[in-house]
Amino acid sequence: MGIQRYGMAVRLQDDKRQFYIDNHANPWPEVIQELKQIKVQNYSIFLKEDFMFGYLEYTGNDFNGDMAKMEEVPIIKQWTKLMIDCFNPFPNNKNNESWVMMDQIFFME
């Protein structure tokens, strides 16, 4: 299937900004290991004011299935809870407390 590219967006709570930045400057090794195990690569997060954009590449065969399995790992649940508490719902997605997947509209190789 090749490389699948995913873009995500979320808003960061101002009072949690430094906590989030610090944790991503030194992410838990188990989190990185789990991401690599499900074939995630080139994962980047960009921040401008309260807006965050995440980009990752996935080389597996079942992104949603692999993400669901990974999210059941206890250390991932712990990390996710800490990070989700840093987010504000993205506009027009009040029921989603985490990243909102974006549609790719352009790609240049």
CATH number at residue 94: 3.30.70.1090
State whether the Cα torsion 76-79-82-85 is positive or negative: negative
Q: Domain for residue 109, yes or no?
A: no
Q: Domain for residue 11, yes or no?
A: yes
Q: Domain for residue 45, yes or no?
A: yes
Any idea what DSSP says for residue 59?
A: -
pLDDT confidence of residue 107: 93
* pTM across the whole model: 0.90
Confidence class for position 98, pLDDT limits 50, 70, 90: confident
Q: Domain for residue 108, yes or no?
A: no
Query: Range of 93's domain?
Result: 4-102
- Residue 71 CB neighbours (<10 A): 11
Rounded CA-CA distance 26/4 in Å is 26
Count of domains in the chain?
Answer: 1
Confidence class for position 51, pLDDT limits 50, 70, 90: very high
